[in-house]
Amino acid sequence: MAHRVTLIPGDGTGPELTEAARRVLEATGVGFDWDVRHAGVDVMEEAGTPLPDETLASVKENKVALKGPITTPIGTGFRSVNVALRYELGLYACLRPCKSYEGVRSRYENVDLVIVRENTEDLYAGIEYEVGTPEAARVIGELNQLQKRQIPADSGISIKPISRTASERIIRFAFEYAREHGRKRVSCVTKANIMKFTDGLFLEVFREIAAGYPEIEPWENLVDATCMGLVQRPQEFDVLVLPNLYGDILSDLTAGLVGGLGVAPGANIGADVAVFEATHGSAPKYKGQNKVNPTAMILSGKLMLDHLGERDAARRLEAAVADVIREGDRVTYDMKASRDDPTAVGTSEYADAIIEQLEASK
């Protein structure tokens, strides 16, 4: 039976990238019944919102979506569609595998790690008090009564909530992912030595949950030391589970270890719904030029195949992508040794090369 999946083309370069990914996914032989729904700046005027209700309803109903990048409108009063989707759909886990493919220009070889980032709380919970407002003054006043160390009156405040519930949920997700994918080690990355009641709680929960997975080695890492370890010996890392802020920063760092945003896939996963999307944004300056690299989008499709239980198709798709990149002929400009190499092909022709590879390997 065909898998019913919401397809959100997005805006900027999103439509050309999702089209490439859709064609490659279909070439695996897996059946899809695409429910195409729109979101982003291109529909904002007509729909009166960058995230129409029917798009959200479709993802809720189908429970799986492949999404192109979406520009965050600035100065319109609308919040980011990406943030709204994560919130509305309860997508608490952000999964970002970073793997080296031979032929991608990068400083490292044999990196194969997975970032599991908590998506809902921490300093990104959006609980903030602006300097000079009555609310900030009230919060500062209350806190200054509770503690010896006084917060200056001219401070802005951002709150870092870390709950046991959200920590348990994301850490269990990381261990389950590791078990299911035959991974050997899960690193908990925090600054628990300084922030004892937030990062410390995250680490405490990590220790409790790790005890239930004796076949997986638990590592406790400090975020600063992890940054150094990642640039010195990235091959030693396997699955990393992190609170929201560290996860955001380190997932860009690890994308850089394997060749950059053009090749970094991702997924946002909740209890019932999963949305698959590249790590990069809408790269609007390249819109409509059939130029940018769809690898991240196509590999997000590979993650989606895994999620749908289509393991064989996922493996074949990844192998076809790896073959085309290794050969290095029919790849986009950013994967060539020189960015103005005239032999670079467009988004769509690169997808054609992967499709031919998939067909040849049947």
Element holding 74 (H helix, E strand): none
Element holding 330 (H helix, E strand): none
The label of the residue with tokens 């004796």 reads: 214
> What are the distances in angstroms from CA 88 to CA 3, 72, 83, 85, 189?
23, 17, 9, 5, 27
The first and second tokens of residue 33, run together, are 């019944």
Among the listed residues 67, 99, 191, 302, the single catalytic one is: 191
Q: Is residue 24 close enough to count as binding ligand NAD by CB under 6 A? A: no
- In the region spanning residues 262 to 291, those forming contacts with ligand NAD, defined by CB under 6 A, are 262, 277, 280-283, 285
User: Residue 219 Cβ, how far from ligand NAD at the closest point, in Å?
Assistant: 29
User: What CA–CA distance (Å, rounded) separates 119 from 129?
Assistant: 21
Q: Is residue 292 close enough to count as binding ligand NAD by CB under 6 A? A: yes
User: Residue 244 Cβ, how far from ligand NAD at the closest point, in Å?
Assistant: 15
Q: Is residue 345 close enough to count as binding ligand NAD by CB under 6 A? A: no
User: Residue 271 Cβ, how far from ligand NAD at the closest point, in Å?
Assistant: 21
What is the per-residue binding string for ligand NAD in 53-72, x denoting contact by CB under 6 A?
Answer: ----------------xxxx
Closer residue to ligand NAD (CB): 241 or 261: 261
Closer residue to ligand NAD (CB): 11 or 122: 11
SS3 state of residue 35: strand
Tell me the residue nearest to ligand NAD as measured from the CB: 281
Task: Verify whether residue 124 is a known catalytic residue.
Answer: yes
Q: Closest Cα to residue 71, out of 7, 9, 19, 10?
A: 10
Q: Is residue 16 close enough to count as binding ligand NAD by CB under 6 A? A: no
Burial 12-44 (b: 16+ CB within 10 A, else e): bbbbbbbbbbbbbbebbebebebbebbbbbbbb
Task: Verify whether residue 340 is a known catalytic residue.
Answer: no
Among the listed residues 33, 224, 312, 341, the single catalytic one is: 224
What is the per-residue binding string for ligand NAD in 295-324, x denoting contact by CB under 6 A?
Answer: -x----------------------------
Task: Verify whether residue 224 is a known catalytic residue.
Answer: yes
Among the listed residues 122, 199, 238, 248, the single catalytic one is: 248
User: What CA–CA distance (Å, rounded) separates 233 from 245?
Assistant: 22
The label of the residue with tokens 């609310």 reads: 135
Answer for which of 5, 27, 261, 274 binds ligand NAD (CB under 6 A) is: 261
User: What CA–CA distance (Å, rounded) separates 341 from 332?
Assistant: 9
Positions touching ligand NAD (CB under 6 A) are: 69-72, 82, 261-262, 277, 280-283, 285, 292-293, 296, 334
The catalytic residues are 124, 191, 224, 248
